[in-house]
């Protein structure tokens, strides 16, 4: 509807992308998407979509960086060089309300050790084949000090 709103959204996204800082990229993406609705200028539309894609890439990278900071080194060989695949699904593993369970797969680049993290662990239910267990607390003088 408003060319000036879209122009402002484009300028804000360009400014944020030009910096290394952590702008609110989710809000910038939402504004680019909302502001371009109804605008009939093809060049502005192309700029907005291109920027929206760049903002999405920045959001993905920020999420990946955050995940990488939370991961311990490989439990087998202690390498810190890992490969990560997000949003993996496996066969017919389903959770609450038949939602598809999504996993993040973490593979050690050095030895191939593979770990999985369930992205929606609160949706795990026993009828999906999972059984709940609680591991014992480590002994105070055990190997986990």
Binding stretches for Zn ion (CB under 5 A): 74, 76-77, 79, 108, 110-111, 113
Complex with Zn ion: residue 48 or 106, whichever CB lies closer: 106
> Smallest gap, in angstroms, from Cβ of residue 78 to Zn ion?
7
- Reported residue count of the chain is 145
> Smallest gap, in angstroms, from Cβ of residue 142 to Zn ion?
24
> Smallest gap, in angstroms, from Cβ of residue 80 to Zn ion?
9
Complex with Zn ion: residue 11 or 76, whichever CB lies closer: 76
Complex with Zn ion: residue 88 or 111, whichever CB lies closer: 111
The span from the first CA to the last CA of the chain, in angstroms, equals 62
Dist. CA 71–CA 105, nearest whole Å: 12
Dist. CA 82–CA 145, nearest whole Å: 26
> Smallest gap, in angstroms, from Cβ of residue 116 to Zn ion?
15
Dist. CA 35–CA 45, nearest whole Å: 10
Complex with Zn ion: residue 60 or 80, whichever CB lies closer: 80
Can you list the positions of beta strands (E) in 24-102?
82-88
> Smallest gap, in angstroms, from Cβ of residue 75 to Zn ion?
8
Three-state secondary structure call for residue 107: strand
- Contacts of residue 11, defined as CB under 8 A and 6 or more positions apart, other chains included, come to none
Complex with Zn ion: residue 78 or 99, whichever CB lies closer: 78
């Amino acid at each position: 509807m408003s060319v000036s709103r879209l122009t402002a959204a484009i300028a804000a996204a360009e400014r944020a992308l030009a910096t290394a800082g952590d702008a609110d990229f989710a809000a910038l993406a939402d504004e680019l998407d909302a502001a371009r609705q109804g605008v009939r200028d093809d060049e502005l539309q192309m700029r907005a979509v291109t920027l929206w894609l760049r903002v999405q890439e920045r959001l993905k990278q920020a999420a990946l960086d955050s995940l990488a900071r939370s991961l311990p080194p490989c439990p087998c060989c202690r390498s810190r060089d890992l490969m990560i695949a997000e949003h993996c699904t496996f066969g017919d593993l389903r959770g609450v309300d038949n939602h598809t369970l999504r996993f993040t797969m973490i593979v050690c680049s050095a030895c191939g050790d593979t770990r999985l993290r369930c992205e929606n662990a609160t949706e795990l239910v026993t009828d999906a084949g999972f059984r709940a267990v609680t591991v014992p607390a480590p002994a105070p003088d055990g190997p986990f000090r």
